[in-house]
Amino acid sequence: RACLTMAAVQRLLRSSSVAAAGRRRMATSLAPGQAPAAAPAFPFAGAERRRRPAHERNVQWVFLGCPGIGKGTYASRLSRLLGVPHIATGDLVRDELASTGPDAVQLKEIVNQGKLVSDEIIINLLSKRLKKGEEKGESGFILDGFPRTVNQAEILDGVTDIDMVVNLKLREDIIVQKCLGRRICGQCGKNFNLACIDVKAENGLPPIYMSPLLPPNNCMSKLLTRDDDTEEVVRNRLRIYNEMSQPVEDFYQKQGKVLEFDLPGGIPESWPKLLDVLNLEDQQEMKLAAA
């Protein structure tokens, strides 16, 4: 059940005037490209380009939702459809962990406890990623996993315009089952999920069925579980999300930018419905026809 009407979504897609007013206010108190006070500097290249009116540039969206809800899946599908990069800060952190950089050991400890890494580190990783993309001619973005704190949201608002925030929702017990089923192929890097969710309707809540996302035979023997996908760490991530990231939802709610989307099931059920509420069905059909 999406809580925004189609007209409201279209308005959001053209950029919210309430939010634009807020941004103008912020822009007048800051030098161009300067981050708000008390925030780590956000050395964002291309900030001017990202300040263009929404209809003159590619979409700049944020995906919110509990860890493990599937933000990455839907954000990456939409990014392919719309031709904008899908930027997941969790992936940037994992790339950093895989490196032999001086911060890798300390970072690993934080991530493996399900805690958030510092705003400074995350902003540094994100700005490097955006700069690299801009050098390759990328424009627009779908952010996944960022912002995770109100401080990060304020910093982002200080340097760029967010057009819309898609907030994915799913029952917490199902999210835990899904996280524990997550696997990644150690060779090709693709993500899979072994969990089969089949929850009957109860207490007025609808039934939810999510089929597993099984790997092909050649990945089966190479499946890995993320070190931070144990039940204890998953529950800790959810607790931290509720504490730190719930206020981010409120931050964007106040700007009138949030599209609430209750996942009705797995990808086959949710994807068409998401396209419908985003009014992107035609785009999908055109893309399929051109393929």
Give the nearest distance from C-beta 287 to ligand ADP in angstroms: 27
Judged by CB under 6 A, which of 89, 167, 193, 255 binds ligand ADP?
89
Which residue has 């996942």 as its token pair? 263
Judged by CB under 6 A, which of 75, 78, 82, 122 binds ligand ADP?
122
Hey, what are 217's tokens? 């035979």
Q: Closer CB to ligand ADP, residue 115 or residue 273?
A: 115
- Catalytic site includes residue 182: yes
Piece in contact with ligand ADP (CB under 6 A), picked from 86-94, 129-137, 158-166, 248-256 = 86-94
Judged by CB under 6 A, which of 110, 174, 223, 267 binds ligand ADP?
110
Q: Closer CB to ligand ADP, residue 13 or residue 111?
A: 111
Q: Does 114 bind ligand ADP (CB under 6 A)?
A: yes
Q: Does 84 bind ligand ADP (CB under 6 A)?
A: no
Q: CA neighbours within 13 Å on the CB side: how many for 217?
A: 0
From the list 94, 108, 128, 226, the catalytic residue is: 226
Judged by CB under 6 A, which of 64, 116, 130, 142 binds ligand ADP?
116
Q: What is the DSSP letter of 117?
A: P
From the list 50, 182, 183, 257, the catalytic residue is: 182
From the list 23, 178, 237, 257, the catalytic residue is: 237
Q: Closer CB to ligand ADP, residue 23 or residue 237?
A: 237
Q: Does 266 bind ligand ADP (CB under 6 A)?
A: no
Q: Which of residues 133-192 bind ligand ADP (CB under 6 A)?
A: 145-146, 148, 152
- Catalytic site includes residue 80: no
From the list 50, 71, 129, 257, the catalytic residue is: 71
Under the rule (CB under 6 A), what is the footprint of ligand ADP? 67-68, 89-90, 93, 110-111, 114-117, 122, 145-146, 148, 152, 237
